[in-house]
Structure 1
């Protein structure tokens, strides 16, 4: 049974006005969104589009893809801005679930559509802005049901894991997610990728320690299970 409820995301840059190199930041963000829209074309209903200088939005077909896209953009933006701009840029996310009142006329531009799905996403990002748990919470979900507190309690724990990754761990996770997504990690293949992209010669033992230290396997499993629970709930609506 196909749900009538859509999934919208709205994201903005935390403390964007304090960032000096805004032009190269825009270029980095544009390239990341362009790649994500291309790679996930079949799973995205309305492309992730920059609507304001520091904000972008879009509509995604399922929760697993939603969480994966959030994680990909988060880790890539942090690693690239740290490397290029010498400062780590972080996003806050609002995930909205609800009806889309106006039809999507142009998939490539997420502007012009409206409805509770976007209102809920806006509400969610405002909740992150006002209650971010000392910077540990960067995502919230709003569906206007009694389940929201439960869903957000899981997201909060996931955020604590993700937002404590060091620069080195961010590098590892970014490369890992780009290659494997939420699939099982192949340490041998990851070793080759890290050696190539970071221009170093890591041992298999070092790679194994890196993967373990990020808790990425537990993190991904939690994301997948939450996505499945959310999909079961959405199908009943």
Structure 2
């Protein structure tokens, strides 16, 4: 049966303290599993130390999971690279964890993850119709242009904006002048980032 497979791994995991990184990684995977359980068929399961895989209900669900991870990771010091692949799983889907499943879709997803590791892009979408794949991969490249430009300090500020706070509230949190935070919101391209996200979500919904 064709299924929506998600895989991800930590970028440059060897640059971090191993035990601290794995603790944070496990916590964030559990957090997303809990928060988005209604969109997941086979729970996100850590497989090779710094990687996870799972099966979601739809392409829009996979996209939402990616965005949820990235939002939560703004408050961490590491990033993930992602693969979304629509492909065959020949065995029964394990609804307890993502172990014990076989199929060409899983094999291709893992191959795609290896390809992404050796390239410049953080995302790879495959297995859907050609036009959707092209639009989503371009959309994620645009999305990541904004996401990847933020420094560690800026990520904390962006995280507050993405929680729905306005520049006055964010200025108060970081003890900054209101006008300074207004300019900061503009320079961080928050609106453009959100537009890129919305564009990707629209493409995903139209493909579903």
TM-score normalised by L of structure 1:
0.74
Match of 1:182 in 2: none
Match of 1:118 in 2: 106
Q: CA deviation at 1:206?
A: 3.7
Q: CA deviation at 1:157?
A: 1.8
2:198 aligned with 1:214: no
* RMSD over aligned Cα atoms: 2.7
CA distance in structure 2 between the partners assigned to 1:121 and 1:209 by the alignment: 41
Q: CA deviation at 1:8?
A: 1.7
Q: Could you say what secondary structure the match of 2:95 adopts?
A: coil
Q: CA deviation at 1:125?
A: 1.6
CA distance in structure 1 between the partners assigned to 2:63 and 2:157 by the alignment: 18
Unpaired runs of at least 5, structure 2:
none
Describe the superposition over 1:179-224 as per-residue Cα deviations: whole angstroms up to 9, x where unpaired.
3xxxxx44168538x71xxxx3234434433332222322222222
Match of 1:232 in 2: 206
Q: Is the 8 A contact 1:5 1:98 kept in 2?
A: yes
Mapping 1:1-237, distance limit 5 Å = 5-19=2-16, 21-77=17-73, 79-81=75-77, 89-107=78-96, 109-132=97-120, 137-143=121-127, 145-147=129-131, 148-177=133-162, 179=163, 185-187=164-166, 190-191=169-170, 195=173, 200-233=174-207, 235=208
CA distance in structure 2 between the partners assigned to 1:59 and 1:208 by the alignment: 40
CA distance in structure 2 between the partners assigned to 1:105 and 1:203 by the alignment: 52
Describe the superposition over 1:64-105 as per-residue Cα deviations: whole angstroms up to 9, x where unpaired.
443343234235445333xxxxxxx23221111224332323
